[in-house]
Every structure is written in C-alpha cells, then in structure tokens.
Structure 1
C-alpha cells in the first residue's frame, strides 16, 4: 500500500532547506563538450516538487529554461513503449544497465552490438529509430509532442542548442552505424541520430520537469491537464529503466542514497519519481564525472530522506 503524499508544508520546508544548504556547493563543472552547455551560468539552482494533484512547490531558479538533454530519453521511451509494447521494446533495445559511461562504445562491443538500455546514448538512438511514423519529420514531431504532453505545455526546440549538439555529435554518429551494422537500428542510422539529438535539444524548466515526473508518479496521467499520456501498465516498465540506468554509472549510488527512480541530463536537470506521491525536479549545471548535476543529486537525496520517500525503506 502506498502511503499518502507528504503535506505541502513539509515539502516546502524540505526544498527550502535543501536549496539553502547546497546553493554554496561549487563542486563539479558544466559540460564542456557541447558549447552551449558550457555557457550556462553555473550558479543557477532551482528545485520543484510536483504532486499527483497538480500542485507544484518551487524554490530558486525554477523558471530558467535549460536543455533537457538525456532526460528526453525517458519520454521517447514512453512514446515507443506505447506504440510497440513493453516486451517488443525489451527484446529490441534491452532493459539492463551497461555498467559503463552513457556514450560507451565498449558496452556495445561487449554485447554484440546490443545497446541493453534505452537510457544510454546507443539505446536511445535505437529507441528513436523505433518511433512509428511516415517519415523522419513525423517521428520528430511525435517525440516533441510527447514531451509537451508530459509537461502540460508546448515544449520547443532550441535551434541554438541543436546546432551546438549537431556539430559535435560525431561520436554518436559512429555509435549509430555500429548499431546499424549489428541489426539494432531500425531506421536510417543518421536519421535516428539526428532525431535523437533534436530530442535532447528542447528547453524545459524545473517546474516543467516536476510535472513531467508527477505524470509518471500519477500512473501516466498528467496531474495538471488530466490527460492520460501513458497506459498505467507501462509506467512500471519506464520507472524500472530509470532505476537501473537513470544516472548512468552513478545509478547504484543514487539508489543507495535516494531510493527513487531517477534520470539526469548533462544540461543540469535531475528528476526523481516517488510513485503514487510526487516527483522531485532540480536544475543546476555543474556536473560530476558521471555527468550528473552535483547540487541536484544532493538536493534529491536530502529531500527524499527528509520526506521518507525511499521506496526500499519500510513504511
């Protein structure tokens, strides 16, 4: 049985304390391999919590629009799992952690070209190639529309972020060809890489991310628009993927300390989902070596502990 969500006052106190405690943390650094991300002010820090009734509590820089980056993988996964089913996705892409960095070629080599997880770059491109559509632009529109439906507002592509990404994504293009050669790419590989890159180049806020996460916490129904975005039967599959690979090589440490399905992006976003209760979203650009927001992780851990959200803890 899922306990009731924490009271709003307790959440307010927890996120305000987390913001105050970790704002001065200067560990980590912005992602530098994508020029746009390197230019984002590193002092920015916002935390938002979205409840399953649609309430959002915020503190800090929660209205700043940042690049969604790898958090987008969750919503492309949601789109494809709705279209082809959970078992087909697991068979074609996988449902296991790689134990290696998110852009690892070695992970593919060790598993005969199979990507293992839709939440690493290889698996995300493979997943993007499975979007059902009449052409590349139709598939891209569906990905963008899915992000917008999760957020409850129209999400837009940043041409500046996309240009910065497309001109530096040679490594991903190489991975796409490896996938194609091993039979794990289901459309033109460069087309899939392009669509995947665009999906990472949209702009969201911490408030948007809190609502997107709350949609998963709410069994697939957006708590603001009341629209069903994902079948309830598919939500556990999405959350399990987040549990295993959501923070890449730090996923185990994340579960150990936070105890919630999560997802990070090198744009500085962090998402944690407490099923049946709420979602925690944080934004802060400086990253650790694994590519995860330093302040975001600290805030999520603190809030989870203060509100007793760890799903592994006894009720």
Structure 2
C-alpha cells in the first residue's frame, strides 16, 4: 500500500512549480520526489533518492524556536512571539501594523521567525548559526552546512523581510540589530538537510524531546508539545487549518519542497509506535506547500488513520 500511495503522489510532482522568487530554488527539477519514515524501533521506509540535500527554508523555524525556548525558557520566547494562527501569507506585515502592540502572531510566520532568530544563543551571526547547526547535527547524527548559493540568492531579494525586521526593531522585539537578525534567519533557511534528517527530527518530537533511537533527551516535553501544537495550527502557512482537518498531524513545510511530520503513535505497515516523516518534492503550490509531498502525507494519514483528531 505504501508504494501505491507513493506512486499516486508522484503523479502530482508537475502540478507545482519551484519557488521562483528565490532564483536559486527556481532551478530545482519538479520531477524529484523522496520520502522517509522512521519508527521508534529504527525501522525505515525509504522511497526515491533520500540522500540529496535541500534547504530547510521555513522548516528552520521549528528548529530555531526549539533552540530559543531551550536556551531562554519558553515564557521568555512567548513574551516576544505569540502562538496564534493568522490565516495570512507567511511574509505578511499587516498584523504587525493593525494589532497593538505589534507582537508577531506566531514563530512560523516570517515576523515571528525573525524575532526568534534574534534570540538564538551567541554574540554574533556565526555564533548563532554554529549553535543551531550543532543542535541539528546531534539530533540527526549527520553534519550539515549552509548552501551559500541559495543564501546569496535569498539575501539579495529579502527586502520584505528587512522591512518586517525594521518594524520589529522599532517596537523593541528584536534582541540584536536588524541586519544580524535577517542574516541569521536567512542563513538558517539555507541550511541543507535530507528527507532522512527530517524524519529523525520528527521522531525526536514524537518522543516529546527524547529521541527514541538513542534515548537522548534533547528538549523538554513542554517545548516539544508547544512546538507540535504550533506545527498543527500554523505549520503550513495559510493552509494550516485545511490540512489540520484533512490530515491532522503536526507538520511544517518549506518553500524548497520539504515537509517535516511527527506522529506520536501510529502503525504504517511494518512501522509502528512513534514515527518521524520527511518528504521532499520541490513543486509547490501558490501558498508554498509541496503539491506531491502534501498528497503523499494526506493519503498516508487517511489510509493508516494517523490523525490526532
């Protein structure tokens, strides 16, 4: 059944387009599709070429939020960033202007993510990047690096994010200066991962911060639970409510075509218990979600009853 779901999802790869507003991402081939599922016992399902690296893009918002919460404490972060869905595009500025006191609605939109990036541990951009990369390396047990070509492509076209950051700075939400916050955020969006890496991150979240494959505690259960709640309500841009209803599992997507999913308890053929899922297909819809990736996850959830609702 898993291969049937995969083959159906693959027929949707050309229904999306790569993110054209980031020139380097526009070069991706839409025919790519890869998925990885790992369970708490170390069993895997892998399809497609799961080795190629792609950039995290907005999936980095999950990692950054976790790191900031573990370093400062959850309440410190929530004093600067709320946990409310917006229904607006991820790069919208309207809520900052129309809602007093201009506090970002959640860390899964750009305004909240830039604020969180300014909170990351370290005195410089390099320090903050190194801290997050080390955290990611330990969870996935593999090295990661910034894709400099993607970073340059993004930073040269990130005028809207700078506008958001200046507004945040004017309202005293950033803990560093504007350029440092924007550079930190953009570099972490350009961090490369594989579908297997995403699956391992999802498995750690399924364990509420304890990685089932190593029994190592990475984050507190409280941080894990709030993160999963945010992924469910805000993780798929302004289609989050739609996918909460039709799929019903915590997810976070990125405009590179990656999707991170976590399942606290499920059974998918030979895989059972806590599950981490990573999917990659670069053809995205107008909202920013992978068309084939979301079709794969939707069929997976419906076939194996993975919804938390």
Bin of the TM-score, shorter chain as denominator length: over 0.9
2:301 aligned with 1:304: yes
C-alpha distance in 2 between matches for 1:156 and 1:225 = 23
- How far the C-alpha of 1:213 sits from its partner, in A, is 0.8
1:135-214 matches, cutoff 5 A: 135-214=124-203
C-alpha distance in 1 between matches for 2:113 and 2:29 = 28
C-alpha distance in 1 between matches for 2:95 and 2:140 = 32
- How far the C-alpha of 1:225 sits from its partner, in A, is 4.2
C-alpha distance in 1 between matches for 2:207 and 2:161 = 34
1:9-158 matches, cutoff 5 A: 13-14=1-2, 16-25=3-12, 26-112=14-100, 113-158=102-147
Whether the aligned pair in 2 keeps the contact of 1:56 and 1:210 (CA below 8 Å) is no
Whether the aligned pair in 2 keeps the contact of 1:48 and 1:282 (CA below 8 Å) is yes
Task: Pick one of 286, 292, 295 that aligns with 1:295.
Answer: 292
* SS of residue matched to 1:275: strand
2:235 aligned with 1:238: no
* SS of residue matched to 2:161: helix
- How far the C-alpha of 1:110 sits from its partner, in A, is 2.0
Runs of 4+ in structure 1 over 4 Å off: none
- How far the C-alpha of 1:232 sits from its partner, in A, is 2.0
Give the TM-score normalised by structure 1.
Answer: 0.91
C-alpha distance in 2 between matches for 1:152 and 1:128 = 23
Whether the aligned pair in 1 keeps the contact of 2:82 and 2:104 (CA below 8 Å) is yes
* SS of residue matched to 1:129: helix
C-alpha distance in 1 between matches for 2:235 and 2:138 = 21
C-alpha distance in 1 between matches for 2:186 and 2:50 = 24
Greater CA drift, 251-260 or 268-277:
268-277
Aligned to 1:219: 208
- How far the C-alpha of 1:94 sits from its partner, in A, is 0.9
C-alpha distance in 2 between matches for 1:102 and 1:253 = 16
C-alpha distance in 1 between matches for 2:79 and 2:288 = 28
* SS of residue matched to 1:177: helix
Q: Which runs of 5 or more structure 1 residues have no equivalent in the other structure?
A: 1-12
Aligned to 1:283: 280
1:226–1:36 Cα change, 3 Å: farther
C-alpha distance in 2 between matches for 1:235 and 1:111 = 28
- How far the C-alpha of 1:52 sits from its partner, in A, is 2.1
2:244 aligned with 1:255: yes
Give the TM-score normalised by structure 2.
Answer: 0.93
- The alignment's C-alpha RMSD in Å is 1.3
Aligned to 2:271: none
Number of residue pairs the alignment of both structures matches: 299
